[in-house]
Amino acid sequence: MSIPQRIERALEAAIAGCEARGGPPRLGAAMRHAVFPGGARVRPQLCLAVAAACGDDVPPLADAAAAAIELLHCASLVHDDLPCFDDAPMRRGLPSVHARYGERIAVLAGDGLIVLAFDLLAAAADAPVPGTGTGTARTAAACRRLPALLRVLAARVGVPFGIVAGQAWECEDWVALPDYQRAKTGSLFAAAAEMGALAAGGQPSRWREFGEHLGEAYQVADDIRDVAADAQWLGKPVGRDHKLGRPNAVAEMGMTAALAHFDALLQRSAEAVPAGPGATGLRALLHAEAERLLPPALVGRCRAPQARSAA
């Protein structure tokens, strides 16, 4: 089964459990709307790519880690889109969750997705692994790895340094742009890389730097798109950072410097990939991301990491 298939299957099973008979139907529908159809699923792909590079010896645990990260990403989007934050009417070309289901259900859908993410990891450690013939040994490995997986996830999502804290920096009078970007976006990319390693019994510290640089690059690209893309290509309104008074790398350093910064962050991310069987695949993922993240007219102004490492 391909990595995208594994991700969608894990997410589908998780959301289906929230739509069980006897629960509030609009809340289940809102949680589904928050998760499907997905965006690029770049964080769970990163997680499973790192797990593969580390041997991926307990695939259900890696799948749970990948899905948990995506659920938390979706939860943050639902809450960020709320009227009190970005008041975003659209997300991924469709009405945002609060636009379709109302603000109250959107708050609760975000809450439910956060809880579900932690439940997925616990379920992977609690349940026997079907069809492996080594279910017990693998479940024992999942149990041993569970506390560290949970702690990394909580640290990269929660307070004081995770994505929730990153969003809160928008409510403070002053924040350094790198601190804000590291918390708001870098931290969940770091979690994706670290948790991919942990789920497969690898060393998370080797992968954290890789994920963090990639996440910061992703945030800079987001800032560039907010200034330079058109709304139809992007599937959501542009110019939001300026309108909402949020920090933006292009506003702070100019477009040329922002593109160079994006390029440097991708390069640092590529250099942080530990040597091993998965290194080539991960660098290819970075190359593809660089092309996907920028508005088409700007791709030529950025040297992708493969090109530079070949230079």
Nearest CB to a copy of itself, comparing residues 84 and 275: 84
Q: Report, in Å, the least distance between residue 63 CB and a copy of itself.
A: 16
* Rounded CA separation 47/190 (Å): 9
Counting contacts by CB under 8 A, is residue 155 touching a copy of itself? yes
Residues 25-54 interacting with a copy of itself (rule: CB under 8 A): 25-28, 31
Out of 41, 43, 79, 208, the only residue in the binding site for a copy of itself (CB under 8 A) is 79
**Tokens for 236?**
């959501």
Inter-residue contact 53 to 278 (CB < 8 Å)? yes
Q: What is the DSSP string of 204-240?
A: HHHHHHHHHHHHHHHHHHHHHHHHHS-HHHHTS-S-H
| Residue 163: CB minimum distance to a copy of itself, A | 9
Instruction: In whole angstroms, give the CA distance from residue 41 to residue 51.
Output: 16
Cα 299 → chain centroid: 22
Residue among 99 and 150 whose Cβ is closer to a copy of itself:
150
Choose between 26 and 287: whose C-beta lies nearer to a copy of itself.
26
37 prior amide bond cis, ω within 30 = yes
Residue 154 binds to a copy of itself (criterion: CB under 8 A): yes
For a copy of itself, the binding residue among 57, 87, 179, 271 (CB under 8 A) is 179
What span, in angstroms and rounded, lies between the C-alpha atoms of 143 and 121? 10
Q: How far is the CB of 152 from a copy of itself (least distance, A)?
A: 9
According to DSSP, residue 88 is labeled: -
Instruction: Tell me the DSSP string of 13-82.
Output: HHHHHHT-TTS-HHHHHHHHHHHSS----HHHHHHHHHHHHTT-S-HHHHHHHHHHHHHHHHHHHHHHTS
Which of these ranges, 58-66, 121-129, 263-271, 285-293, lies near a copy of itself under the rule CB under 8 A?
A: 121-129
Interface with a copy of itself includes 105 (CB under 8 A)?
A: yes
Give the nearer residue to a copy of itself in terms of CB position, either 104 or 292.
104
Q: Pick the piece of the chain touching a copy of itself (CB under 8 A) from 35-43, 158-166, 209-217, 252-260.
A: 158-166
Q: By CB under 8 A, name the binding residues for a copy of itself.
A: 17-20, 22-28, 31, 75, 79, 82, 84-85, 102-105, 107-108, 110-112, 114-116, 118-119, 121-123, 125-126, 143-144, 146-148, 150-151, 154-155, 157-162, 164-165, 167-172, 175, 179
